[in-house]
Amino acid sequence: MRRKHARLTQFVYRQMFQNGCGWASLILAFSLWMPAFAATAQENHTPVVRFDTRRIVVAGIDIQVEVAMTRQQRQQGLMYREYLPANEGMLFIYPSPRILRFWMRNTRIPLDIAFIDRQGIIRSIQPMPRTESDDRTVSPSPAMYALEMNLGWFRENDVCVGDRVSF
């Protein structure tokens, strides 16, 4: 991607100066071209945060999760993903119980979220449909863990509030 844009920049620069357009035209062309480049770069954002994976059991169902323990991992979560395989999700782990707040900005997959207490008991399950707003999904009580799965996964697998998660 960078090579393509570098070549385009060189081409525009050569054309303008060979045709006698000068610096003013170069600045104008660059100012018109740069916003398009920035939008393309944002749309093609590739996350650089890495996640460890582990197997957990949710109400007797074995699933694989990516684990978000650091602040950077929790901030990125499942943003920019196009697909989440069945029986896979993301487990957010916090150092102590607290009211948790999640948003769906740049998250392309509709999700459900389960808020889980220190003992591994699911205290709330809420849908998080795909949206670009900053609306937050908030845990109704302090939680130490949050588990994001595909929208409908908890209902389809008869997982309910009060069920246990084993880590």
Q: What are phi and psi of 41, to 5 degrees?
A: -65, -40
* Tens digit of each residue's pLDDT (9 = 90 or more) over 35-53: 444 444 445 555 579 999 9
pLDDT over 70 at 19, yes or no: no
Residues 39 and 73 in one domain: no
**What is the spatial distance between Cα 165 and Cα 162, in angstroms, rounded to a whole number?**
10
Residues 118 and 70 in one domain: yes
pLDDT over 50 at 119, yes or no: yes
Residues 97 and 35 in one domain: no
Beta carbons of 88 and 55 less than 8 angstroms apart: no
The pLDDT value given to residue 134: 74
Range of the domain at 32: 2-43
The pLDDT value given to residue 142: 98
The mean pLDDT value for 160-167 works out to 97
Return the higher-pLDDT residue of 19 and 38: 19
Residues 30 and 56 in one domain: no
Residues 13 and 81 in one domain: no
128 class by beta-carbon count within 10 Å (0-12 exposed, 13-18 middle, 19+ buried) = buried
Comparing CA positions, the residue from 93, 84, 140, 145 lying closest to residue 111 is 84
